[in-house]
Structure formats: C-alpha cells, structure tokens
Amino acid sequence: MVEGVGKGVTEAQHYVVHYSSIWSHLERNHSIYDLSVLADICVGNPFVVNYERIMELLPILCPEDKPREKQWYALVPRGEAPGLSVGHTCMFMPSAIGGKGQIVIVGGANPSGSFSHSFLINLDSHEWDIPAWEGLQSRYEHCSFVSESDPESLWVFGGAEQSGNRNCVQVVHTTDNANWRTLEVKGTCPSPRTYHTNSACVKDRLFVFSGGETGATPVTDPQVHIFNTVTCTWSQSESKGKPPSPRHGHAIVAVGSVIYVHGGMAGEKFHSDMFCLDTESMKWERVKAKGDVPPGTAAHSAVALGRNIYTFGGMTADGASNSMYKFQTDKQRWTLMKFEGDLPPNRLDHSMCVVPWVERTDSGVEEKGESCERETKHLCFVFGGMDTQGLIFNDCLVTVLT
C-alpha cells in the first residue's frame, strides 16, 4: 500500500493511475503544460534535476577515454546543453567528411511547452551546438528516422503539441544549413498520433504501428502504415498473422528487414509481450521469448546493434525503471544486463541511440586501418526523460553495448 492512497489501491495500481495522470497532462488533453497542475500531479516536486549530483554518482567519459564494459558514464559536452526535456528523439548521424559524426536531438517538451528546436553534439569537438535549421513544427513523442538512400537527411513524423496530435512528415538536409520542409505526401496518412521511436525504418521505408491517441488511450487502428521516403507516399499493406493489440509507449525497432514491437500500454494495462513483423512477407508473429523476460513496460527506449536489441528504462507497474535488457533475436532470449558501480536515475520518455566511439592509443593519436576497427566501441547514448515523481532530466548517459 502507498501512504495517502485510498484503501484497496495497491502500489502497482497507484503508479498506473499516477502515470496515466502525468501522461494525460504531459500529452494532449487540455492545457497540457500548466506547471501548477503538473506540480500537484507530481506531488509537488520541482521540475529540475541535480545534474551535478548525477556527475557525482557516475564517472565522466572524456573524449580520449576508453570506456569500460558494465559501467555507466556521464557524458558532459562543452557549451550550453538543452533544457529539461521529455519526448524528444536523438539520432547519431555520421560525418560526410570522415569525422566522428554528431548526435542530433529533436523536439521534446517540458512544463514550459513543446519544442521546435534541435541540438547537436559535435563528437569531434565534444561540444553542444544549435543548428540553423528553422521550420520544425513543435512536437514531442514523435518519430525520427534516416533513410538508407539519403543518410544526410533527417525525417520526423507525428508526435504531439499543446493543441493535439500530429501526422505530418517533415525533413531537413543536415549538411547544408537548410530549413525543415513539410512534405505534401501521397496516399492515405495515418491518423494523428504519438509514436516515439527513432529505429522503425527499413531501408527507405518507415513502418508505423499503433501509437497514442488521447491520455492513456492508444489509437484503435490495427493497420501497418508504410511511408516511402523516395516517393513520399503512404501505403497500407495487408498483413498476415495476428498483430499486437493497440498500444502506445511501445518500443519498435528494426533488425535487418524485421520490425520488433515490445511492450507499451493501453489504459492501465502494461504489456510485456513482443511481436515481430517480417517486412518482406508482411507476416506478424508473436515472439516466444525466454530468459530474463522484462515486466510489462511502456515509455522505454530501444536500439539495435547487429542481431541484438537493447532496451532501457521506461515505466512499469512498480514505477520508473533504470534496468537495461538485451534481446538476442537469433536465440529469442532476454538477458538483464548487470553493471558495476552506480546506475542512472530511473526514467521514462527519454531518447536513446547507438554511437560509435573511437578510442585513442596511448600516444593520443587515433588508430588507423584494422586497429581502428578493433578500437571502436559502440555506446548506448541516453538523453533526458523523467521519473514518476515529475523530476525531468537533461543529462547525457552512455554505456558500452556488449
């Protein structure tokens, strides 16, 4: 039982109701960013994070450092960082001229409103930067993606802002200081919805399944919507098999030509199931997972590296989580990842991407050729999010993916 909650309400039920209340106001219903309302919902906690405290807990990873496995680090780029944020997306974009690339953070929201800006982490200079792109329609809990044939363009779909959900598609060419363009698309668009992912693209096609409609209610549409970035056309292909039930806050990630859907919620129900969609045959299958199967989780993030899927954080019936799981798609096995030292604060509605991290030799010179391949690790990068008490973050966290 939770103190102050009526009789007969379990701790799990309390968290579900608590999260649904936050979700309703942090998303689409009314004056969704009324700070006084949110402060009441979130038990009076201020919407701040003690970033210095996080840096005390976690070691700082500097550009020349070699990160250890099974260890979380704080990443602290120079310059002015974004403010507190939930519902944003982050993407790693390689450099066109042979550099280390950059991390792009798009949109998001906090009690002051939803955002129409983007921030960059330049991995060569280890600095924050604000690109000169204009024209992004403010949004959070949207989808970001990069197509195979045009890796220098960044696309966004859907999400929400104060007046409601979106279903528009925008794109920016990141290398020439262009502005965001809102596309005139062909075909039948999905209904407006939240759809928080950065990993649902197969080659030049974005796959959209389910998403958030209002408050804790998902869209009822069971259709798979496909957006072709080359033709700017939406289509709805007939799928085989039984699809997942409608949900929002689910993780959706592509591994090769297969889309995996994990978790999510509908009303007060948290889903723990996983489904996969073969995008060539368009056949759904329920994954018979084994191992350390995660509990029902929503508003978590997922990335893929090789054949493995990694999930972090999210909301369960017991509250926000800081657990990280690895799912081996070839073995259909979940593993709860173990770490040494302190863990990041629990969080949900954050963003996550995979970042190549090129280590340096003892002489301080980047290694070349084969040795460079051996000295390049892949980090899981996490930015922002919030906990169930209304504490919102703007920290950067990394750990080595193994």
**Does 4 map to a domain?**
no
pLDDT at site 18: 36
Mean pLDDT for the stretch of residues 7-23: 35
Domain assignment present for residue 3? The answer is: no
Q: Which residue has the tokens 């040494």?
A: 340
- Decide: 207 and 195 in contact? Cβ < 8 Å: no
Task: Report the alpha-carbon angle 158-163-167, nearest 5.
Answer: 20
| CATH number for 91 | 2.120.10.80
Amino acid at 220: T
Residue 35 has pLDDT above 90, yes or no: no
In a domain, 382, yes or no: yes
For 259-313, the three-class secondary structure string (H helix, E strand, C coil) is: EEEECCEECCEECCCEEEEECCCCEEEECCCEECCCCCCECCEEEEECCEEEEEC
Q: How far apart are CA 6 and CA 146, in angstroms?
A: 48
With vertex at residue 274, the alpha carbon angle to CA 270 and CA 275, rounded to the nearest 5 degrees, is: 130
pLDDT at 96: 79
pLDDT at 13: 35
pLDDT digits (tens, 9 = 90+) for 129-168: 999 999 999 999 999 999 999 999 999 999 999 899 999 9
332 — alpha (psi -120 to 50), left (phi > 0) or beta?
left
Number of Cβ within 10 Å of residue 155's Cβ equals 20
Check residues 42 and 231 and name the one with the higher pLDDT: 231
Q: What string of DSSP letters covers 163-200?
A: TEE---EEEEETTTTPPPEE---BSPPPPS-B--BS--
**Burial track 259-282 (b if 16+ CB lie within 10 A, e otherwise):** bbbbbbbbeeebbebbbbbbbeee
Beta bridge partners of 196: none
Q: Which strand (E) or helix (H) includes residue 316?
A: strand 315-316
Q: Is residue 39 part of a domain?
A: yes
Mean pLDDT over 59-75 rounds to: 95
Q: Please provide the size of the chain in residues.
A: 402
What's the pLDDT tens digit per position in 371-394? 444 489 999 999 999 999 889 999
Q: Quote the distance between the C-alpha of residue 99 and its chain's center.
A: 25
Which residue range is the domain that position 88 belongs to? 11-400
Mean pLDDT of 77-102: 94
In whole angstroms, give the CA distance from residue 318 to residue 196: 22
- Report the alpha-carbon distance of residue 39 to residue 178 in Å, rounded: 39
pLDDT at 55: 58
Say yes or no to pLDDT of 208 above 60. Answer: yes
Digit-coded pLDDT (tens) for 304-318: 999 999 999 999 999
DSSP string, 201-246: EETTEEEEE--EEETTEEP---PEEEEETTTTEEEE---BSPPPPS
Residue 78 resides in a domain: yes
Query: Could you tell me the pLDDT band of residue 200, with boundaries at 50, 70 and 90?
Result: very high
What was the pLDDT predicted at 352? 98
- Counting residues of the chain whose pLDDT is more than 90, the rounded percentage is 77
Residue 270 pairs in a beta bridge with 265
pLDDT for 372 equals: 43
Q: How many domains does one find in the chain?
A: 1
Determine the longest span between alpha carbons in the chain, in angstroms: 66
Q: Which residues pair with 133 in a beta bridge?
A: none
In a domain, residue 1? The reply is no
Q: Higher confidence at residue 27 or residue 131?
A: 131
Residues 6+ apart with CB under 8 A from 55: 74, 76
Q: What is the mean pLDDT of residues 181-199?
A: 97
Q: Is 6 inside any structural domain?
A: no
Closest listed residue to residue 109, CA positions, set 83, 76, 135: 83
Handedness of CA 159, 164, 168, 170 (dihedral sign): negative
Residue 272 lies in a domain: yes
Query: What does each C-alpha distance from 379 to 68, 87, 192, 198, 401 come to in angstroms?
Result: 11, 21, 33, 16, 6
Dump pLDDT digits (tens) for 331-350: 999 999 999 999 999 999 99
DSSP 145: E
Helix (H) or strand (E) holding 381: strand 376-386
Q: How far apart are CA 228 and CA 142, in angstroms?
A: 18
- Angle in degrees, CA 32, 35, 38, rounded to 5: 70
Q: Between 39 and 397, where is the model more confident?
A: 397
